[in-house]
Amino acid sequence: MCLAIPGRIASIHDERGIRMGRVDFGGVVKEVCLAYVPEADVGDYALVHVGFAIATVDETAARKTLATFDEIKPDRSRKTDELSPTEFKTGPTSSRQA
């Protein structure tokens, strides 16, 4: 399975002949290879997997995906040793909405 996270392209530059960019993932900015998305421009959203932008997406789709991630993220306020074996694998259910 592959997990790609949407991020907004903040800047684009060339690094040794490779198209690179700085991509903002909700405040966390990472250097990303943009070689596979030549159509991408500053301000666009790209799906990024292990440091490579693999597709562009519109802002609505990107925001919807990010909202879904926020809904399913585990409650990090509890310590790992407080979790049951099931919660340790899947994350605590107390913070999830039904």
Q: What is the pLDDT of residues 45-73, one digit of tens each?
A: 999 999 999 999 999 999 998 888 888 87
Q: Could you tell me which CATH number the domain at 5-90 has?
A: 2.30.30.140
Spans of all domains in the chain: 5-90
- What is the value of pTM for the model shown? 0.70
Helices (H), the chain: 59-72, 85-90
Q: What is the pLDDT of residues 19-51, one digit of tens each?
A: 999 999 988 999 999 999 999 999 999 999 999
Six-digit token string for 11 = 């800047």
Across 64-97, b (16+ Cβ under 10 Å) vs e yields ebbeeeeeeebeeeeeeeebeeebeeebbeeeee
